[in-house]
Amino acid sequence: MTRLVPLIVALLGFGIAACGGDDDGGSAPTKAEFAKDADKVCKDTEKEIEKIGQGASSPDALADAIDKVIAASKNAANKLTDLERPDGDAGDTATKFAEGFEQELNDKLIPALEKLKKAIQDKDAQAAQAAAADLQKLESTQSDKYARELGATACVGSA
Distance CA(151)–CA(66), nearest Å, equals 29
The number of beta carbons lying within 10 Å of the beta carbon of residue 94 is 26
Q: What is the number of residues in the chain? A: 159
Task: At 16, give phi and psi (nearest 5°).
Answer: -140, 170
Domain ranges of the chain: 4-19+28-153
Judge if pTM exceeds 0.95.
Answer: no
Per-residue pLDDT tens digits for 119-158? 999 989 899 899 988 888 877 688 889 999 999 988 887 5
pLDDT band at 13 (very low <50, low <70, confident <90, very high): very low
pLDDT of residue 32: 94
The number of beta carbons lying within 10 Å of the beta carbon of residue 112 is 22
Distance CA(159)–CA(152), nearest Å, equals 15
Per-residue pLDDT tens digits for 32-68? 999 999 999 999 999 998 888 787 778 888 899 999 9
